Structure 1
Amino acid sequence: MEISSRDAGSDVVVIALREANLDASNVREFKEAVQALVGPAATRVVFDLEGVKFIDSSGLGALISCLRQLNARRGDLRLCSLTPTVQALLALMRMNRVFQIHADPQDAVASFD
C-alpha cells in the first residue's frame, strides 16, 4: 500500500493515500499503516485521497473508524483532494455530512484553526 505522512504543524498530520482503491482487499493494511503513522497522541488528521478512485463499504468503514478514534481523543479528521467519483459516492451515502471535505491539503489543515 502506498501511504505516507507529513507533519503539517499545529499538531496536524497529513496522510496521503496513493492507492487506486480503498476496499476489502487492502483495508486491514490501511488501518495498520494509519495506526503506525498517526500514533496514540495525534488528534488532528487530514487524509489526502488524491489518487483514490474507488471506496467500498469496507474502506468507508475504515475512514469512519479513524474518525471515531480521533473523536474519542477530542480530535478530528478531514478529507481532501477527492476524485469526482469518490466525492459523488460520499454524497450519495450522505457521508459528506459526517466528514469535512476540502479541496486540497492546505485548506484542510487551515480548517483546524
Structure 2
Amino acid sequence: MDVTSEMVGNVNVIAVRGELDASNVNDFRRIVLPLLASPVKLLIDLSQTQFVDSSGLGATIACQRHAIAAGGRMKLCCMSKQVRAAFELVRLHLIFDIHPTREGALQAFAEAAEA
C-alpha cells in the first residue's frame, strides 16, 4: 500500500494505492489520523485501491469518526466495483458520502461550503 496526500483547494486528498487490509491498516491510520486533528475536508480517493478487507473498512470508519469529532468532513471517491462491493456488503455505503469521481466529490465540498 502507498498513500499520498495533496491539497486541492481547501480539500486534503488522500490517494490509496494497492490493498488496504490487515497487513497495512496501521500504516494507513498512522498517516491519515493526524490529518484529522483539526477541522478538515478530507477526500479519500480509492481509484487505485484494488482490495479492502474488514480491517480497511474499520480504518475508514475510524477516519470518519475522527473527522466528525474534529468538526471536519470526509468523502470517498472512485471506488472500483470490488471495493464498492465490500462497502455495500456491510452497508457502509449508507453512512459514507461516496462519489464516483474525484471531481464530483470536490464539487460536493464546494457546494456544501456555499450553502
Query: Secondary structure of the residue that 2:23 maps to in structure 1?
Result: coil
Are the counterparts in 2 of residues 13 and 42 from structure 1 also a CA contact under 8 Å? no
What's the Cα RMSD here?
A: 1.4
Structure 1 length-normalised TM: 0.89
Of Structure 1 and Structure 2, the greater helix share is in 2
Structure 2 length-normalised TM: 0.88
The 1-side partners of 2:102 and 2:12 are apart by 10
Runs of 4+ aligned residues of structure 1 deviating over 3 Å after TM superposition are none
- 1:42-88 deviation line (CA, Å, top 9, x unaligned): 42100001111211111111000000000001211111110100111
Alignment correspondent of 1:111:
108
Q: Give 1:93 shift.
A: 1.0
Are the counterparts in 2 of residues 14 and 105 from structure 1 also a CA contact under 8 Å? no
Alignment correspondent of 1:4:
4
Alignment correspondent of 2:13:
14
Of Structure 1 and Structure 2, the greater strand share is in 2
Question: Structure 2: which 5+ runs fail to align?
Answer: none
Question: Structure 1: which 5+ runs fail to align?
Answer: none
Alignment identity in percent? 38
